Amino acid sequence: SAAEEVDRFVEKNFALISYSDKFLELSTEDVVELLSKDELNVASEEEAFNAAMRWIEHSPERTNVLERWLNSIFPSLLSQE
C-alpha cells in the first residue's frame, strides 16, 4: 500500500529526514513510533537518540512528554549515563 511505501521510505532515509523541519513538527506519538521501529536505518542508536534530542530541543515543553519514552526507546544509551 502507499502507506507502507511511505513507511519504508522514512525508515530508509531517517538520517536525512531527522534534520528536516517537518520532523521537528511531528507529534510525540509519531516520533515515538518512528524511533521504536527496528527497521530504522541509522548508523547507530546514538544517531536516533540525537534526532530525538533535536526534536525535544525544538520545543522544550516536549521534555516532560517524551521523557517517559526515552528509557524504553534507548535503554542501552541511557544506562551508560
Q: In this predicted model, what pLDDT tens digit does every residue of 23-44 receive, in sequence order? A: 999 998 899 889 888 888 999 8
Map residue 1 onto helix, strand or coil. Answer: coil
**21-29 CB contacts, 8 Å cutoff, 24+ apart:** 23/51, 23/54, 23/55, 24/54, 24/55, 24/58, 24/59, 26/55, 28/62, 28/65, 28/66, 28/69
Locate the domains of the chain by residue range: 2-78
Mean pLDDT of 45-61: 90
Mean pLDDT of 70-75: 71
Please choose, from the candidates 33, 54, 42, the residue with its C-alpha nearest in 3D space to the C-alpha of residue 13.
42
pLDDT for residue 67 = 67
Map residue 79 onto helix, strand or coil. Answer: coil
